[in-house]
Amino acid sequence: MLIRADAILEAPGKIHRPGQLRIRADIIQEVGSDLKPFVGEEILDFPGLTLTPGWINLHAHLELASLHGVLTPGKDFPIWLKQILGCLPGLTPEVRRESIFRSTQNALRNGTTSILSITSDIQAMAGLTSTASRVWWALEFMDLQNPPEVSPVLERAMAWLSRNPANAWHLALSPHAPYTASPQLYREIAGLSLRHKLPFTTHLAESPEETAMLGGKKSSFQDVLPKEFHRNDFQNSQSAVDWSNRNQVLPSGAILAHLNEFQPSDLPYLKEREATVVHCPTCHEWFGRKPFSFDLLKENKIPVCLGTDSPASSGNLSLDLRAEARLFREWHPHVSAHEAWEMITTTPAHALGSGLQLGTLKSGSWADWVGWRLPEPREDPIPQILESHDLAEVTCVAGKVVHHEQI
């Protein structure tokens, strides 16, 4: 199939004008400016559109969209946690599936084609036969009470995935956070992620209360966690990263959601583990966190991506990564539009182990692209697209047009 548009942004600084993409099944075969149709080849024309790689949201909870506007923002994280725990009984598989459907549609219309989504209830996925976007289902585990059966759950999820081969679905693994998952559970999940080559992600260093708890100090977590709860590893750690290092819980390539709290002494371990950090600006604002130490991570060459987190803890119901990029650049004005673009394309693609398939529109990449109608096309469309509030006009995932705004 040959797709023709006004322009195709293969990667920042590499634009084909006019642009054509040749795809076979879900893979881009060729990209260029003078590709001619083969005899009998199907042609899709998108006059006036600029095609770009679809964006990647590296931290979301697709199943929680129904909690948008339900919880009260505030600085105290355990109080928020207490609120969400109270909402869990109402999150039936049907409610979660409806949230997943709505969230993936919203994300697509705003240019995101891939989402790493934390999934705390595998039953929510039963009966789900498709999503509009590509999803990495990160199976979440905790062992506050009984140890979970990680391997059997993973095997069931792998079998479920193989029964849905038409979907652009993948798996990942996620111990929830240091205060709900023990070092043993972390290490078990880290081992499985290495064995099955699955992305590993976890919530780490999200709040000062977490740092206090891991250091053995009093924190309001004590009011939320079960009364009989006791962990020997909650002592002496200077930070959540220090706790991770002491307990050797992170596999190489771990994707760390938040990292709002860390110290310069944590940087060597993060580097050694080749960790990627996911910063969620609208969630950061929602909780009123202290400024995110982006420059320190950047100076130490620790990759940082952008995510939305869930609408239960941010105002970003539409999972629009442009809103995250705008807020992020407001706080870090020296960050260029191209740098922000990399944080939602090539950097998260690499973190997912899909650097060759995602984040660019090169020959050999997955055919995940987005068509934008720009009022006044300029040589470099990236700043314009990131500033725009308009919906994407066309979105394609795995070679299939999954959303088209115009009829």
Nearer to Zn ion, 261 or 309 (CB): 309
CA–CA gap between residue 283 and residue 260 (Å, rounded): 11
Least Å distance, CB 60 to Zn ion, is: 8
Q: Which two tokens stand for residue 198?
A: 């699955």
**Phi, psi dihedral angles at 244 (to 5 degrees):** -65, -40
Size of the site for Zn ion (CB under 5 A): 1
Least Å distance, CB 140 to Zn ion, is: 9
Nearer to Zn ion, 80 or 243 (CB): 80
Task: Say if strands 134-141 and 27-32 run parallel, antiparallel, or are unpaired.
Answer: unpaired
CB distance 237 to 231 below 8 Å:
no
* Nearest residue to Zn ion, by Cβ distance, number only: 309
Least Å distance, CB 203 to Zn ion, is: 5
Nearer to Zn ion, 15 or 224 (CB): 224
Give the residue from 380, 372, 307, 284 showing the smallest Cα distance to 337: 380
Which residues between 288 and 317 bind Zn ion (CB under 5 A)? 309
CB distance 104 to 62 below 8 Å:
yes
Evaluate the CA torsion angle 161, 167, 171, 174 in order and state its sign: negative
Long-range (24+ apart) CB contacts under 8 A made by 76-81 are 76/209, 76/220, 77/206, 77/207, 77/209, 77/210, 77/287, 78/207, 78/209, 78/219, 78/220, 78/221, 78/223, 78/224, 79/220, 79/224, 80/287, 80/313, 81/224
Least Å distance, CB 101 to Zn ion, is: 20
CB distance 108 to 80 below 8 Å:
no
Which residues between 333 and 352 bind Zn ion (CB under 5 A)? none
Nearer to Zn ion, 241 or 255 (CB): 255
Answer yes or no whether residue 6 interacts with Zn ion by CB under 5 A.
Answer: no
Least Å distance, CB 119 to Zn ion, is: 11
Which residues between 32 and 71 bind Zn ion (CB under 5 A)? none
Nearer to Zn ion, 287 or 372 (CB): 287
Least Å distance, CB 176 to Zn ion, is: 9
Which residues between 89 and 118 bind Zn ion (CB under 5 A)? none
Where on the chain is the footprint of Zn ion (CB under 5 A)? 309
